[in-house]
């Protein structure tokens, strides 16, 4: 579910200055040269996945659509650009009336991608497309990195519940975007209320060590929490002695205590001991939640532990060591004149050092084997082979400047689960390796 579904009063400010200065100086020069109106095609892709990753996850598309829709140069923004002398008056006049009127195609949010995948394709005049580079990349690079980490953690969790708890470990606005991306990647809840308000993500949270330390005894703290929140609450049991805390918790709440949380120590060992103790006390339905600097490897190491849920913070909101996806936004085709009927000409940067790109307006499809398992990412610029016609990946997101593909976040999340399930089983292995699918150009 998203904010639109809930009818929430969420205002997105102008995104026009979420850009680099050279986007505007290029615009000014192109306007003066008479090339600004040439029909152009830009594509977002990455040349490689982060080291050791087997697949990427497309996330942030919904936020990109909001950003494009709200890319407006209002009077205050125009005044700033004029005062700073960024561009000339004729360019400011053009910017004042800016509205993206082109088309955007892309992989649907939640889909997986691989090196070279044309994740997003932006088409329109050079002038209106070039301005969107930075804001599109900033959203997709961030959100896709978080979603990829979340997906790996989700796979490692094997169906156990995952809670996003990283708001205190990143920028306050990045925390909201991170919670959204984590939900796409398979997390089921967040501790961040702004994310719950804005995107309808389920929120959770009970108490921290400070609450226990506030009271004269752990018993007093537990009693206060149970009296306020009910027996179904989650009690934090590792402030002092874990075994004593568990005994006190069950004594006060009874055998229908909701859960206990463990935030320190040898989580594998402590979880086994706590589960045994809870069962011996008759609290067989009480769940165990573990936190404490978890990542996908720590989660996988707890697969044999009697753990019901994981809370993940720092490693999630930093992309588990890979906070960006290294996506780029490149001009791949343009017309030779401003005539709307002028044919598109493929263009590409020629460079050494691994920064080459392939020109031409691209399509993408995923070939599957006889069992329906993906076996290759196929990318081309010519006609789509008949056998791949129903396997194409890009969908239309914006048509003539109008957003046409907004969708609930739960739909995006479900799509990712399906996409990941369609990959070879080695995709979810945490051992380092190459992308699970080869990229083939035709």
Other CB atoms within 10 A of residue 268 CB: 17
| Stretch 119-127: mean pLDDT | 98
Secondary structure of the chain as H, E, C letters: CCHHHHCCCCCCCCCCCCCCHHHHHHHHHHHHHCCCCCEEEEEEEECCCCCCCCCEECCCHHHHHHHHHCCCCCHHHHHHHHHHCCCCHHHHHHHHCCCCCCEEEECCCCCEECCCCCCEEEEEEHHHHHCCHHHHHHHHHHHHHHHHHHHHHHHHHCCCEEEECCHHHCCHHHHHHHHHHHHHCCCCEECCHHHHHHHCCCECCCCCHHHHHHCCCHHHHHHHHHHHHCCCCEEECCCCCHHHHHHHHHHHHCCCCCEEEECCCCHHHHHHHHHHHHHHCCCCCCEEEECCCCCHHHHHHCCCCCCCEEEECHHHHCHHHCCCCCEEEEEEEEECCCCCCCCEEECCCCCCCCCCCCCCCCEEEEEECCCCCEEEEEEECCCCCHHHHHHECCEEEEECCEECCCCCHHHHHHHHHHHHHCCCHHHHCCCCCCCCCCEEEC
Q: At what angle do helices 75-84 and 89-96 cross, to 10 degrees?
A: 160
Q: Give the rounded percent of residues in the chain with a pLDDT score beyond 90.
A: 93
| Stretch 66-70: mean pLDDT | 95
Quote the CA–CA distance of 291 and 313 in Å, as a whole number. Answer: 8
CATH value of 146-321 in 2.40.50.100, 3.20.20.70, 3.40.640.10, 1.20.1440.230: 3.20.20.70
For the record, the structure tokens of 139 come out as: 């959203």
Q: List, for residues 213-253, the tens digit of each pLDDT value.
A: 999 999 999 999 999 999 999 999 999 999 999 999 999 99
**Which CATH topology does 19-131+326-436 take?**
nicotinate phosphoribosyltransferase (3.20.140)
Kindly calculate the radius of gyration of the chain based on its CA atoms and give it in whole angstroms.
25
More confident site: 13 or 46: 46
pLDDT averaged over every residue in the chain: 95
Q: Give the rounded percent of residues in the chain with a pLDDT score beyond 70.
A: 96
Q: How many CA atoms are closer than 13 Å to the CA of 174, on its beta-carbon side?
A: 20
Quote the CA–CA distance of 38 and 102 in Å, as a whole number. Answer: 12
| Stretch 330-343: mean pLDDT | 94
| Stretch 253-264: mean pLDDT | 97
Q: How confident is the model at residue 45 (pLDDT cuts 50, 70, 90)?
A: very high
Q: How confident is the model at residue 425 (pLDDT cuts 50, 70, 90)?
A: very high
Please determine, for residue 370, whether its predicted confidence score (pLDDT) is greater than 60.
yes
Please determine, for residue 5, whether its predicted confidence score (pLDDT) is greater than 70.
no
CA 305 from chain centre, in angstroms, equals 28
Q: How confident is the model at residue 432 (pLDDT cuts 50, 70, 90)?
A: confident
Which pLDDT score, from 0 to 100, does residue 12 have? 52
Q: How confident is the model at residue 8 (pLDDT cuts 50, 70, 90)?
A: very low
**Cα→Cα distances 316→141, 236, 310, 313, 331, Å:** 14, 22, 12, 5, 32
Quote the CA–CA distance of 278 and 130 in Å, as a whole number. Answer: 60
For the record, the structure tokens of 287 come out as: 């769940």
Residue 276: which residues within 8 A CB-CB, separation 6 or more? none
Please determine, for residue 3, whether its predicted confidence score (pLDDT) is greater than 70.
no
| Stretch 322-343: mean pLDDT | 95
How deeply is 36 buried, as exposed, middle or buried, from its count of CB atoms within 10 A (0-12, 13-18, 19+)? buried
How deeply is 9 buried, as exposed, middle or buried, from its count of CB atoms within 10 A (0-12, 13-18, 19+)? exposed
Please determine, for residue 368, whether its predicted confidence score (pLDDT) is greater than 60.
yes
CB 424 within 8 A of CB 373: yes
Q: In the beta sheet, which residues pair with residue 287? A: 259
Q: List, for residues 402-413, the tens digit of each pLDDT value.
A: 999 999 999 999
Q: How confident is the model at residue 340 (pLDDT cuts 50, 70, 90)?
A: confident
Please determine, for residue 302, whether its predicted confidence score (pLDDT) is greater than 70.
yes
| Stretch 162-187: mean pLDDT | 97
Every domain of the chain and the residues it spans: 19-131+326-436, 146-321
CB 189 within 8 A of CB 179: no
């Amino acid at each position: 579910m998203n904010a639109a579904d809930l009818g929430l009063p969420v205002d997105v400010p102008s995104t026009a200055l979420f850009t680099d200065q050279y986007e505007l100086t290029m615009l000014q020069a192109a306007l003066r040269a008479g090339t600004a109106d040439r029909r152009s095609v830009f594509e977002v892709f990455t040349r490689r996945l982060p080291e050791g990753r087997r697949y990427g996850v497309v996330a942030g598309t919904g936020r990109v659509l909001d950003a494009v829709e709200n890319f407006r140069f209002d009077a205050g923004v125009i005044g700033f650009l004029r005062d700073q002398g960024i561009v000339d008056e004729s360019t400011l006049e053009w910017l004042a009336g800016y509205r993206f009127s082109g088309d955007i195609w892309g992989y649907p949010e939640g889909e997986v991608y691989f090196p070279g995948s044309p994740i997003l394709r932006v088409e329109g005049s050079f002038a209106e497309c070039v301005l969107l580079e930075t804001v599109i990349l900033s959203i997709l690079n961030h959100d896709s990195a978080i979603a990829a980490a979340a997906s790996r953690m989700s796979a490692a969790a094997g169906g156990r519940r995952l809670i996003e708890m990283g708001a205190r470990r990143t920028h306050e606005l990045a925390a909201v975007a991170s919670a959204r991306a984590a939900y796409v990647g398979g997390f089921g809840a967040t501790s961040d209320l702004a994310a719950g308000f804005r995107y309808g993500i389920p929120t959770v949270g009970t108490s921290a060590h400070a609450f226990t330390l506030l009271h004269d005894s752990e018993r007093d703290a537990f009693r206060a929490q149970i009296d306020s929140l009910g027996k179904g609450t989650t009690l934090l049991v590792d402030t002092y002695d874990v075994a004593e805390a568990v005994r006190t918790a069950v004594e006060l709440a009874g055998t229908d205590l909701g859960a206990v949380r463990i935030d320190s120590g040898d989580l594998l060992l402590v979880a086994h001991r706590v589960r045994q103790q809870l069962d011996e006390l008759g609290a067989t339905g009480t769940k165990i939640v573990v936190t404490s600097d978890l990542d996908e490897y720590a989660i996988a190491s707890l697969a044999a532990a009697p753990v019901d849920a994981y809370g993940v913070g720092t490693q999630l909101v930093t992309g588990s060591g890979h906070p960006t996806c290294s996506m780029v936004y490149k001009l791949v085709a343009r017309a030779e004149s401003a005539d709307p009927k002028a044919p598109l000409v493929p263009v590409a940067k020629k460079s050494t050092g691994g920064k080459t790109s392939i020109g031409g307006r691209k399509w993408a499809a995923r070939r599957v084997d006889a069992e329906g398992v993906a076996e290759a990412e196929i990318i081309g610029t010519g006609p789509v082979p008949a056998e791949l016609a129903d396997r194409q990946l890009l969908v239309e997101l914006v048509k003539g400047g109008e957003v046409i593909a907004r969708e609930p976040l739960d739909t995006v999340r479900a799509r990712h689960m399906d996409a990941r399930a369609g990959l070879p089983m080695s995709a979810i292995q945490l051992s380092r390796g190459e992308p699970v699918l080869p990229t083939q150009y035709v």
